[in-house]
Amino acid sequence: MARLLPGTRALRTLEAAARHLNFTRAADELGLTPAAVSHQIKEIEDQLGLVLFTRTSRTIRLTEAGTVLFDAATDALDLLGRAVSRAQKTARGTALLKITLDAQFATKWLMRRVDDFRRQRPGIELRFDISYEVRDFDRDDVDIGIRFGTGKYPGLYADRLFENIITPVCSPALLRSGPPLKEPRDLFQHTLAHIVWSRQGVTWPNWRMWMAAAGIDDFDDSRTIVFGSSSDAVQAALDGNAVALADFAMVANDLSEGRLVRPFALGIKVAPEFAYFLVYPVASANDARIVAFKDWILNEVHKPQPDPTRRSWDEL
């Protein structure tokens, strides 16, 4: 009977083809050609003596037998993936802590501070999974993560790190050489950059919202530059090409080291239900490595910082 069972590679092909009901999309996902996917499916059918898909000139559909095997393949691959993750974590021992986080948080906040953790806890080696994809702690080889969201993640503890406060920033060179910035309306003479982001009815602060908070209700946002990521908007400010709305926590070091300045100190808080959270499985809450990293990072985020929401037009 074991010789009749498809191998793992064949199961992955079957699962992808059945999920997409399209050999071309399955091929793109698996890094194969559509012909190779079709050939592998035919091999499985021949091996099992079953018809798994009905094919027409335009579509494919699962047969009843195909549906049974699709469900089983999905469960089997998921179970195997979780087992591999546990095996990887067991094999690398207890001295290594693997952290998943996005590139902006890594470069703008964590990497500037992580040497302090290494000095305090030399027995714990940190490795980083830099990705905007949300990892699955049961399936992926990671121990702890930093995510932006609501903090409501089943099976995970979530410790809130800090609020996201959005404030204008620009390069010192732009402030010196460009049109003067004495009051908020002076921003009309500059290129203004922000990002577009919304989730669950919450919109990330944009220039129209900031101007409204500054008491300006006739702002024309047709000349603003919209970026897909905060790091691109901040880079435009660093390059002297724009005044950008940026997350204060993510640019605090650029501000303190003089690469950026705040022409106005007014900041807008992102809706309180959204923030950066430190997340880790409930089952790992007493893991000494996770406890050490959690205690360290919570201490770091609670260190005193300048208040970016203070209203002041003549700070500089």
Stronger pLDDT, 80 or 256, i.e. the higher one: 256
* Least trusted range by pLDDT, from 21-30, 139-148, 173-182, 301-310: 301-310
pLDDT tens-digit readout, 146-174: 998 888 899 999 999 988 899 999 999 99
Report pLDDT for 90: 67
* Three-state DSSP string of the chain: CHHHCCCHHHHHHHHHHHHHCCHHHHHHHHCCCHHHHHHHHHHHHHHHCCCCEEECCCCEEECHHHHHHHHHHHHHHHHHHHHHHHHHHHHCCCCEEEEEECHHHHHHHHCCCHHHHHHHCCCCEEEEEECCCCCCCCCCCCCEEEEEECCCCCCEEEEEEECCEEEEEECHHHHHHCCCCCCHHHHHHCCEEEECCEECCEECCCHHHHHHHCCCCCCCHHHCEEECCHHHHHHHHHCCCCEEEEEHHHHHHHHHCCCCECCCCCCEECCCCCEEEEEEEHHHCCCHHHHHHHHHHHHHHCCCCCCCCCCCCCCC
pLDDT tens-digit readout, 8-18: 888 899 999 99
pLDDT tens-digit readout, 86-115: 777 666 666 899 999 998 899 889 998 999
How much of the chain exceeds pLDDT 70, in percent? 92
pTM of structure: 0.67
Report pLDDT for 125: 92
Report pLDDT for 312: 39
Report pLDDT for 11: 87
